[in-house]
């Protein structure tokens, strides 16, 4: 596995997971001769100019708060971003070929840039090797997508996942399997289920686990048949006394469910974990669509072998399209504990999550579950299933929760795809990872959103830390945060805007909402933002990824805060997706602006206001890598000064390797 303690970065002592890729990319059959890149040269020149400015003003500027210096840096930052934001990427707008669709599911690989008119960046071995993460779950090689059937059993966390054993692109899907004692360090086990039956010949697709009160494990999954019909199948451990659950048996009378009348043969997939009805039956839901209306079909069963379809839908929402990977679970209104999936009652709200095939985002809705009428009723129709709140406003899809009985918590897994070109993934030999598992609870302060937070076990990877108190950034300035190499970090930061400026700020005319997607990213300046951190930045600021807050005073006089991540300057390479994304985040009376950021090579996971809004980015820098990666605090507001206090930990690598019976942890 790629988590050896081989460190290519001489400037620090953190073990990394770099896997060498073939020296000759041509030999890997993946990349052609790069085109000459005028834009790249321009960026290099700008970078040199910034470097020159830095050296001219002060040979050693670290930690300085000199206003002149900061203004120069900020000017460079703004002009570079402005220049970049006007340039256009050479991206093919559509593809005539789709691997997924031909197999009965939507496209899953990132085929962007794979056609001839895409501009290819001359990636080299060390750039590509750097992208492999150090403490996120990844298979040793090849393609991975959705989390499947996560569960806790006899002292082990089990993680199954959609896996292509043959290539770094979607296809030939089987179930990979890994085990862990702590959700952080993993051991790879043999494939749990392969496509060896007519009813899953075209793929062993997504499914969920149910643990019965007697401890028995039930696995339901979608099979894509030899004729690409989506059916539901039952599987169970061959030997329940084996805590590693290595062997799985497929029920001999599979499939247990076919698409019902009126439902398309390729619109019937991803069964949920089952929950108990008050009548003692088990109930599941399965995603589908009717024309453009996303729907969740419901079935009751006593034995998981025969099912009764319940009339109507758990929920149906027009215009949302196919619902993949539906998840349905209770959260407590009273305690922080997670709840078993079957819990219902007065102290409980229900969460319904769908993965929208049409836009590849995971949407959730909070509401109540009317057991008698078999309906989910959202608290707020503006935040109905598939139209309002999202788990994550960046790259995060096909997620699934499970109830971890050992720690009485609900844990969320999410598939984090790539934002680079498929040919680069083929050259690396791997694609996709899983986000750090997150605990999910109801935000009892707002009552209207969930709180997601990295599982506490990730803190066991924290190494040395640096603390910075009350750093001040004047309007339009950048302050270096000296933590040394900044490729594996856990950052906790708080920001405060000058009180006076907050009070003085006037309503921005006709603006009630700052959209991260369409407001020009971190280069666009307002009175009260943007401000935040530049992660994966190089010293010359030729590459950086701003994770930031943007505050506006709405026409009603109230402050509204957006939390965003801007990829437009994350890499000088042109063949990666460079969107800006994010959303509003509630900041309550008396709260500071706060963020936690996990940086792990090509992934940046950010949690604002204790986890009310989260944004995950994939970034592919070419210069801000290894020992050259740095961290900065920036304030690009026009009026307000911002104060920041931070604690930054260097993060160790997780130990993710093939199963070894001698290693029990
Ligand atoms: N991935 C699986 C499907 C599911 C989709 C196929 C979501 O079961 O709908 O790999 O990413």
Cβ(427) to ligand 1 under 6 A?
A: no
Q: What is the distance between the alpha carbons of residues 158 and 179, in angstroms, rounded to a whole number? A: 5
Out of 100-114, 225-239, 517-531, least confident range = 100-114
Cβ(269) to ligand 1 under 6 A?
A: yes
Report the percentage of the chain scoring pLDDT > 90. Answer: 77
Ligand 1 mean position to 324 CA, how many Å? 7
52 has a pLDDT exceeding 90: no
Q: What is the pLDDT averaged over residues 169-190?
A: 97
Element (H, E) at 49: helix 38-57
Q: What is the pLDDT averaged over residues 583-612?
A: 98
Question: Of all protein residues, whose CA lies closest to atom 9 belonging to ligand 1?
Answer: 324
Cα 83 → chain centroid: 29
Helix (H, G, I), strand (E, B) or coil at 594: strand
Q: What is the pLDDT of residues 460-482, one digit of tens each?
A: 999 999 999 999 999 999 999 99
CB atoms within 10 A of CB 35: 13
In terms of Cβ atoms closer than 10 Å to its own Cβ (0-12, 13-18, 19+), residue 406 is exposed
381 has a pLDDT exceeding 50: yes
- Which atom of ligand 1 lies closest to the CA of 415? 11
Cβ(205) to ligand 1 under 6 A?
A: yes
Half-sphere exposure of 28 (CA within 13 A, CB side): 23
Ligand 1 mean position to 412 CA, how many Å? 17
Report the pLDDT value the prediction gives residue 632, as an integer from 0 to 100.
98
Question: Of all protein residues, whose CA lies closest to atom 10 belonging to ligand 1?
Answer: 205
Q: What is the pLDDT of residues 83-135, one digit of tens each?
A: 333 333 333 333 445 678 878 787 777 655 544 456 789 999 999 999 999 99
Strands 186-193 and 656-658, sheet pairing: parallel
pLDDT band at 59 (very low <50, low <70, confident <90, very high): very low
Report the pLDDT value the prediction gives residue 512, as an integer from 0 to 100.
74
Ligand 1 mean position to 614 CA, how many Å? 23
Cβ(268) to ligand 1 under 6 A?
A: no
587-621 burial code (b ≥16 CB/10 A, e <16): beeeeebbbbbbbbbbbbbbbbbbbbbbbbbbbbb
Mutate to test the pocket of ligand 1, among 147, 205, 264, 288 (most ligand atoms within 8 A of CB): 205
CB atoms within 10 A of CB 196: 10
Q: What is the distance between the alpha carbons of residues 345 and 330, in angstroms, rounded to a whole number? A: 9
Q: Comparing C-alpha atoms, which of 503, 494, 489 is closest to residue 648?
A: 489
Question: Of all protein residues, whose CA lies closest to atom 7 belonging to ligand 1?
Answer: 398
State yes or no: cis peptide before 530, omega within 30 of 0: yes
Q: What is the pLDDT averaged over residues 303-312?
A: 98
Residues 6+ apart with CB under 8 A from 54: 61, 73, 539, 540
Helix (H, G, I), strand (E, B) or coil at 661: coil
413 has a pLDDT exceeding 70: yes
Mean residue pLDDT across the chain: 86
Report the pLDDT value the prediction gives residue 113, as an integer from 0 to 100.
55
661 has a pLDDT exceeding 60: yes
Report the pLDDT value the prediction gives residue 294, as an integer from 0 to 100.
98
pLDDT band at 508 (very low <50, low <70, confident <90, very high): low
CB atoms within 10 A of CB 154: 12
Phi first, then psi, for residue 608 (nearest 5°) are -95, 150
Q: Which is catalytic among the residues 9, 23, 146, 466? A: 146
Q: What is the pLDDT averaged over residues 343-357?
A: 96
Element (H, E) at 416: strand 409-416
Report the pLDDT value the prediction gives residue 1, as an integer from 0 to 100.
28
29 has a pLDDT exceeding 60: no
Ligand 1 mean position to 205 CA, how many Å? 6
Ligand 1 mean position to 641 CA, how many Å? 47
Mutate to test the pocket of ligand 1, among 288, 325, 414 (most ligand atoms within 8 A of CB): 325
Cβ(220) to ligand 1 under 6 A?
A: no
Q: What is the pLDDT averaged over residues 335-347?
A: 95
Q: What is the pLDDT of residues 37-46, one digit of tens each?
A: 334 444 444 4
47 has a pLDDT exceeding 70: no
12 has a pLDDT exceeding 50: no
Q: What is the distance between the alpha carbons of residues 498 and 12, in angstroms, rounded to a whole number? A: 37
pLDDT band at 61 (very low <50, low <70, confident <90, very high): very low
Report the pLDDT value the prediction gives residue 577, as an integer from 0 to 100.
93
Domains, in order of start, for the chain: 141-454 (2.115.10.20), 464-651 (2.60.120.560)
CA 150 → CA 232, 375, 395, 400, 414, distances in Å?
18, 25, 20, 8, 11
Ligand 1 mean position to 411 CA, how many Å? 20
Helix (H, G, I), strand (E, B) or coil at 246: coil
How would DSSP label each residue in 442-480?
Answer: E-TTTSSSEEEEE-GGGGGGEEEEEEEEEEEE-TTEEEE
Helix (H, G, I), strand (E, B) or coil at 184: coil
Strands 323-332 and 316-317, sheet pairing: unpaired
Contact 249, 236 (CB under 8 A): yes
Report the percentage of the chain scoring pLDDT > 70. Answer: 83
Helix (H, G, I), strand (E, B) or coil at 138: coil
Report the pLDDT value the prediction gives residue 506, as an integer from 0 to 100.
72
Q: What is the pLDDT averaged over residues 350-362?
A: 97
Whole-number CA gyration radius for the chain: 25
Cα pseudo-dihedral 510, 512, 513, 519, rounded to 10: 20
Out of 51-60, 134-143, 530-539, least confident range = 51-60
Ligand 1 mean position to 21 CA, how many Å? 28
Cα 384 → chain centroid: 22
Report the pLDDT value the prediction gives residue 110, as an integer from 0 to 100.
67
Whether 146 is catalytic: yes
In terms of Cβ atoms closer than 10 Å to its own Cβ (0-12, 13-18, 19+), residue 345 is exposed
Cβ(173) to ligand 1 under 6 A?
A: yes
Angle at 631 between CA 550 and CA 422, to 5 degrees: 85
- Which atom of ligand 1 lies closest to the CA of 230? 8
Q: What is the distance between the alpha carbons of residues 485 and 216, in angstroms, rounded to a whole number? A: 47
């Amino acid at each position: 596995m790629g988590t050896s303690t081989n460190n290519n970065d001489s400037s620090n002592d953190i073990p990394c997971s770099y896997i060498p890729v073939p020296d000759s990319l041509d030999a890997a059959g993946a990349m052609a001769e790069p085109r000459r890149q005028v834009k790249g040269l321009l960026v290099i020149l700008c970078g040199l100019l910034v470097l020159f400015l830095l050296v001219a003003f002060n040979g050693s500027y670290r930690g300085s708060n000199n206003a002149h210096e900061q203004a120069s840096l900020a000017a460079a930052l703004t002009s570079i971003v402005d220049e970049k934001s006007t340039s256009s990427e050479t991206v093919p707008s559509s593809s005539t070929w789709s691997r997924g669709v031909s197999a009965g599911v939507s496209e899953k690989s990132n085929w962007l840039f794979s056609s001839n008119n895409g501009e290819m960046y001359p990636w080299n071995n060390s750039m590509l090797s750097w992208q492999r993460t150090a403490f996120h779950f990844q298979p040793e090689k090849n393609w991975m997508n959705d989390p499947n059937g996560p569960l806790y059993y006899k002292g082990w966390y089990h993680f199954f996942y959609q896996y292509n054993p043959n290539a770094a692109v979607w296809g030939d899907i089987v179930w990979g399997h890994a085990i862990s004692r702590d959700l952080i360090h993993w051991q790879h086990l043999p494939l749990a289920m392969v496509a060896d039956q007519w009813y899953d010949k075209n793929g062993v697709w997504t499914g969920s686990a149910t643990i019965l009160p007697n401890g028995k494990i039930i696995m339901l999954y979608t099979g894509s048949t030899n004729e690409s019909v989506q059916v539901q199948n039952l599987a169970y451990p061959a030997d329940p006394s084996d805590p590693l659950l290595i062997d799985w048996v497929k029920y001999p009378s599979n499939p247990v469910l076919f698409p019902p009348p009126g439902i398309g043969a390729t619109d019937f997939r991803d069964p949920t974990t089952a929950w108990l009805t008050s009548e003692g039956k088990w109930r599941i839901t399965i995603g589908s669509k009717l024309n453009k209306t996303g729907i969740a079909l419901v079935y009751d069963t006593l034995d998981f072998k025969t099912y009764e379809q319940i009339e109507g839908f758990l929920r149906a929402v027009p215009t949302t399209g196919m619902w993949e990977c539906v998840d349905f679970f209770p959260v407590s209104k009273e305690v922080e504990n997670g709840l078993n999936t079957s819990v219902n009652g007065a102290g409980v709200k229900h969460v319904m999550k769908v993965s929208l095939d049409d836009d590849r985002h995971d949407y959730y809705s909070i509401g109540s579950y009317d057991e008698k009428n078999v309906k989910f009723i959202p608290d707020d129709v503006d935040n109905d299933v598939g139209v309002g709140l999202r788990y994550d406003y960046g790259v995060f899809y096909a997620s699934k929760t499970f109830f971890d009985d050992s720690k009485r918590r609900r844990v969320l897994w999410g598939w984090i795809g790539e934002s680079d070109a498929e040919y680069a993934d083929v050259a690396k030999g791997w694609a996709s990872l899983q986000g750090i598992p997150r605990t999910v609870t109801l935000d009892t302060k707002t009552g209207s959103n969930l709180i997601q937070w990295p599982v506490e076990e990730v803190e066991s990877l924290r190494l040395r830390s640096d603390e910075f108190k009350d750093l001040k950034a004047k309007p339009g300035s950048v302050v270096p945060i000296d933590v040394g190499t900044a490729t594996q970090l856990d950052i906790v930061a708080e920001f405060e805007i000058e009180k006076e400026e907050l009070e003085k700020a006037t309503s921005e005319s006709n603006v009630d909402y700052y959209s991260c997607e369409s407001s020009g990213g971190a280069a666009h300046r307002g009175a009260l933002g943007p401000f935040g951190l530049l992660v994966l930045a190089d010293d010359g600021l030729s590459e950086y990824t701003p994770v930031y807050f943007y505050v506006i005073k709405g026409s009603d006089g109230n402050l509204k805060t957006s939390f965003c991540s801007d990829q437009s300057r994350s890499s000088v390479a042109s063949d990666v997706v460079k969107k800006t994304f994010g959303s509003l985040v509630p900041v309550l009376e008396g709260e500071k602006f706060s963020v936690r950021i996990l940086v792990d090579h090509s992934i940046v996971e950010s949690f604002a206001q204790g986890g009310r809004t989260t944004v995950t980015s994939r970034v592919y820098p070419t210069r801000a890598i290894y020992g050259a990666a740095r961290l900065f605090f920036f304030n690009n507001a026009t009026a307000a000064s911002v104060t920041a206090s931070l604690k930054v930990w260097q993060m160790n690598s997780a130990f993710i390797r093939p199963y070894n019976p001698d290693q029990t942890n």
